[in-house]
Amino acid sequence: MSHPDSIAPHGGTLIQRIASPQQREEFLSKADFLPRVPLDARAVSDLEMIAIGGFSPLTGFMEQADYHRVVNEMHLVNGLPWSIPVTLSVTEAIAEPLQIGSLVRLDNPTGQFIGVLELTQKYTYDKRHEALMVYRTNEEKHPGVAVVYNQGNINLAGPIWLLQREADPRFPTYQIDPAESRALFRDKGWKTIVGFQTRNPIHRAHEYIIKCAMEIVDGLFLHPLVGATKEDDIPADVRMRCYEIMLEHYFPHERVILAINPAAMRYAGPREAIFHALVRKNYGCTHFIVGRDHAGVGDYYGTYDAQHIFDEFSPGELGITPLKFEHAFYCLRTKQMATTKTSPSTREERVHLSGTKVREMLRRGETPPPEFSRPEVARELAQAMRITEPSYEI
């Protein structure tokens, strides 16, 4: 490499667990003889993220010691910060016949052989404790907690191999894995890169904080999450069209890279903000935007809890710089986007358009006002709402 990366992956080495052609042939030759474990959509995303290095330094699904340390202390056994357990949970019936030390075939939801687990451990775990520690609640109506409660009681652990990296048929041109994003940053000469996590279309408040961040770095890595989300989140293809529209009309093309994040949402609020930052560090970002209620859902987390949690780690420990932003609004006095840090406006002069109001407007066939969303994006969302019936969360 002619130019060193501007930031090291978490743990110092970018993990690569995609089988070589020879390994793949060997695994395929054993396909009919290996015990099978079916993966749900989230487990498939986790498998992919481990394999491409997005979850570096993880080389597989967590063993018991790492699991307990992460749940209780937000660190791996080796001392590195890590805030979300990455586990493969199965039923007792599936786990019972599996032999420690053996290979396990991992199938996707349609039964296709996509990966291998080198089984090192099988262990039980306390679902309620995991929920309370990771999600700060044990209520099953929380979507992340519901996943934990509904999954199997046994965690399978060990290194994994992904048979091959398939292109995402929905967004093949935007599938940029960590090794490639790092190469792109080097080619562009970017030393400082800010990552932006989103599972929603970019509205004016997002645009404002992103552009504030862009003033102090070399480039933006716009990195929407396209793995499993809640049923009422806007579909990934609609969101991607909105990002394309924004980049075409409202951002300098040479300073932005749009790429998909294959990970699944946990909705773990503060803990997931740390998790999202470490993932973007693996992709090569030096900075990470943390806005209001990052990765939150409902009223489970305080508005800025996801910012405060970064203060629980010692300076430099995470290896990526959080950029913390207040809730942005359209200011009627200054006629522009602002926060309380930049605007002298009274509460009555601030336009906060809630997701609920926007959904109601879209259902009525109305487009959100320009104070909330750029008109081209608003039209795209209104069109999508006419085509699809479910209620969407902005």
pLDDT of residue 31: 96
Q: How far apart are CA 260 and CA 257, in angstroms?
A: 10
Residue 288's nearest CA partner among 175, 210, 186, 199 is 210
Q: Is 239 part of the annotated catalytic residue set?
A: no
For residue 239, the model assigns a pLDDT of: 87
Q: Catalytic: which of 24, 136, 186, 200?
A: 200
For the chain, the C-alpha Rg in angstroms (whole number) is: 21
- How many C-beta atoms lie closer than 10 Å to residue 248's C-beta? 10
Q: Which of 69, 199, 292, 374 is catalytic?
A: 199
Here the tokens at position 202 are: 């970019």
Q: Is 200 annotated as catalytic?
A: yes
pLDDT at 2: 41
The whole-number pLDDT of residue 116 equals: 98
274-293 tens-digit pLDDT: 999 999 999 999 999 999 88
What does the pLDDT look like over 101-147, one tens digit per residue?
Answer: 999 999 999 999 999 999 999 999 999 999 999 999 999 999 999 99
DSSP letter assigned to residue 18: B
The whole-number pLDDT of residue 393 equals: 41
Q: How does pLDDT run across 296-312, given as a tens digit for each residue?
A: 888 899 989 999 999 99
Cα–Cα distance measured from residue 12 to residue 14, given in angstroms and rounded to the nearest whole number = 7
Task: Give per-residue pLDDT as tens, 343-365.
Answer: 999 999 999 876 657 767 777 77
Q: What is the pLDDT of residue 218?
A: 98
Assess contact for 46 and 55: CB atoms under 8 A. yes
CA 148 distance to own-chain centroid = 17
What is the pLDDT, as a whole number, of residue 78?
98
The one-digit pLDDT tens for each residue of the chain (394 residues) are 345 677 999 999 999 999 999 999 999 999 999 999 999 999 999 999 999 999 999 999 999 999 999 999 999 999 999 999 999 999 999 999 999 999 999 999 999 999 999 999 999 999 999 999 999 999 999 999 999 999 999 999 999 999 999 999 999 999 999 999 999 999 999 999 999 998 788 888 899 999 999 999 999 999 998 887 767 677 888 889 999 999 999 999 999 999 999 999 999 999 999 999 999 999 999 999 999 888 888 889 998 999 999 999 998 999 999 999 998 999 999 999 999 999 999 999 999 876 657 767 777 778 888 888 898 998 888 888 775 544 434 3
Q: 106's torsion region: left (phi>0), alpha (psi -120 to 50) or beta? A: beta
Q: H or E element: which one contains 47? A: helix 41-52
Neighbouring C-alpha atoms within 13 Å toward the C-beta of 122: 18
**Which pLDDT score, from 0 to 100, does residue 235 have?**
82
Q: 57: cis peptide before it, omega within 30°?
A: yes
Q: Which residues of 168-196 are buried (b: 16+ CB within 10 A; e: fewer)?
A: eeebeebbbbbbebbebbbeeebbebbbb
Domains and CATH numbers, the chain: 21-162 (3.10.400.10), 172-387 (3.40.50.620)
Distance CA 224, CA 234 (A): 12
Q: Are 228 and 199 in contact (CB under 8 A)?
A: no
Give 132: exposed, middle or buried? Use CB within 10 Å, 0-12, 13-18, 19+.
Answer: middle
Residue 354: predicted pLDDT: 63
pLDDT for 392: 37
Give 96-148 as a DSSP string.
Answer: TTPPTTSEEEEE-TTS-EEEEEE--EEEE--HHHHIIIIIS---TTSHHHHHH
